[in-house]
Amino acid sequence: MADGAVNKDFDRAYADLIHIYRAERMKPGRNPWLPEFVEGLESE
């Protein structure tokens, strides 16, 4: 597999993760540890 395909797959997976996080964040009382975890991922 070419590097470009791997990077594209990774970028897509990362974007999907962020969308899932934002949807879950809208649910009150869910996963209190998640915001700090995702902020760490976004700052990398």
Mark out the alpha helices in 1-44 (DSSP H runs).
Answer: 3-25, 34-42
pLDDT value, residue 20: 92
Cα separation, 10 vs 5, in Å, equals 9
Contact 22, 28 (CB under 8 A): no
Residue 2 — very low, low, confident or very high, per pLDDT cuts 50/70/90? low
pLDDT value, residue 27: 79
Which residue range is the domain that position 24 belongs to?
3-42
Q: How many domains does the chain have?
A: 1
pLDDT value, residue 3: 64
pLDDT single digits (tens) 8-44: 899 999 999 999 988 887 777 767 887 888 889 888 7
Say what the pTM is: 0.49
